[in-house]
Amino acid sequence: MQYSEKVLLENGLEHYDETVGKALSKNAERHTFAAKRLYTPLDVEYLDYNEKEGFPGEYPFTRGVQPTMYRGRLWTMRAYAGFATAEETNARYKYLLGAGQTGLSVAMDLPTQIGLDSDAPQAHGEVGKVGVAIDSLADMEQLFEGIPLDKVSTSMTINGPAAVLLAMYVALAEKQGVKPEQLRGTIQNDILKEYIARGTYIFPPRPSMRLITDTFEYCSKNIPKWNTISVGAYHIREAGASPVQEIAFAFSNAIAYIEAAIKSGQKVDDFAPGISWIFTAGLDFFGEIAKFRAGRRLWARIMRERFGATVPKAQMLRVHVHTAGSVLTAQQPLNNIVRITWQAMSAVLGGIQSMACCAYDEALALPTEESATLALRTQQMLAYESGITDTIDPLAGSYYIKSLTNQIEQEAYEYIKKIDAMGGAVEAIEQGYMQSEMASHAYGYQKAIENGDTTVVGVNKYTDDKKLGQQEVITADLNIGKKQVNKLNDIKTKRDQKAVQDTLAALKQACEGTENTMPYIIAAVKAYATLGEICNVMRGVFGEYKSSSAF
């Protein structure tokens, strides 16, 4: 900005302040927490375009990771789905693919997420309840029956036993005649966020980190198109974090994974292209757009300057978004359709690569076929009817967006430096630092709702007297557990028991040593060893994690 332009702008602002003063004497301003009244070129005066913005598909990727973004290829449209048995979920997948979905997103039930078979005493009442039950390769075969794995991209929300579910997918592909190099998809595989946000961990942090680096190495050599980890910023945010904490804590976790992989002898340019991310899209429309832009820029800088990554894909923040479920309301649930729409729009304007939208009835129960279809149609209408995909990064010139992007990046980086000073993410988690910060923010947010400082339509303002639950919902059938256990017992009687015992013994020896565990897990899976049997072998070697945190 030239000196004369700056003087004119500053003089104009003085006059504007006088105008505002007169207006305020008649009508008080509505209070907001995040943004100031007005943004001008003075707010972005010292931001260098080439350094901070750049061009799409080029470092620092602020404006997107692909040169043509959605003009060349739309984001992958998914619906997070999984319930009851593999057969029932398979039917839902085929329905969604027929409705135009372009990728699958697998929800696992709670026993599967913590490495238990459906016949485990702890699994009683939870089988198939919040996702699909996967006990063995036989379930995986039924889950993808009639779905060629070389034609779809599959995301699996699984963490502690991620290596086992990936092994099942690899074994299934082999049965279908699909080569490993043809497989596309993601395993979540982010265990550190489980200790602070979700709780579906199995093993202590350090052996869990070994399993993650084993999958990094195996996939970089054998499944090059596979995303070996989807770092879970989403779950951190849903557990109460702020948008800044969402970036900072997820990035710190990812830094720990990268450092562990490098320490094991891997090269960053080999495995880092397989790192992907899952973020949330919350209610603050412009804040979410700026968050995605800030995240891409900060991550590119970390990868280049801290880890020396030279391959562009190793510097990219490639993001899958799931719209925020925690902000959906059971009261007046149809309002959620509108909330989900602008959340999804902020993600698209923020430049994401893949997305799943919540269904409007998720605050009540599992989505119905109708609500799941509407969630998919929301994405399709944004893609084809709204016009927001016509040009790349259309809000980039906004003084507000640019200023907010810079602010979020700086605040997130300060958090990362603080965690680095503690010794990194593992140490920060063990000290309870991230958990405490998230709990504090969540408490403040909830308090603002309860005292009316934050308005939630239908909850603390514009309410009605309608009772909750007066609409169709899906609930899990408790008989599913019995059916799943019967199927599991049938598999156990028909398989080669010696092959199972031999492969489990070999896996135990690998866990006790330093070999990559993935080939041994795959061998056990092919012998129809169950998820619980495989995880129990690893429990015997690695132990189980017991949380001592108050959070």
Tokens matching residue 105 = 């997103």
For 63-424, CATH gives 3.20.20.240
Contact 345, 379 (CB under 8 A): no
pLDDT number for residue 180: 94
Residue 281 pairs with which residues in a beta bridge?
323
At 551, the pLDDT band (50, 70, 90 cuts) reads very low
CA dist 22 and 26 (Å) reads: 7
Report which of residues 29 and 446 the model is more confident about: 446
Cα–Cα distance measured from residue 114 to residue 123, given in angstroms and rounded to the nearest whole number: 10
> 247 with 298: CB under 8 angstroms?
yes
Beta bridge partners of residue 321, listed in sequence order:
279, 355
Whole-number pLDDT of residue 310: 98
Place of tokens 């995040």: 34
Over residues 28-55, the pLDDT tens digits come to 887 665 678 888 888 888 788 889 999 9
CB 197 within 8 A of CB 246: no
Note whether 253 and 194 are within 8 A (CB): no
List pLDDT tens digits, range 82-102. Answer: 888 999 999 999 999 999 998
Name the β-bridge partners of 229: 275
Give the pLDDT confidence score for residue 80 in this predicted structure.
85
45-54 long-range contacts, CB within 8 A, separation 24+: 45/1, 45/6, 47/402, 47/406, 52/297, 52/402, 52/406, 53/396, 53/402
Domain ranges of the chain: 63-424
Write the DSSP symbol of residue 283: S
At 35 the pLDDT is 79
Task: Give the C-alpha separation, 214 to 522, whole Å.
Answer: 13
Identify the H or E element spanning 389: none
Gap between the Cα atoms of 472 and 271, Å rounded: 45
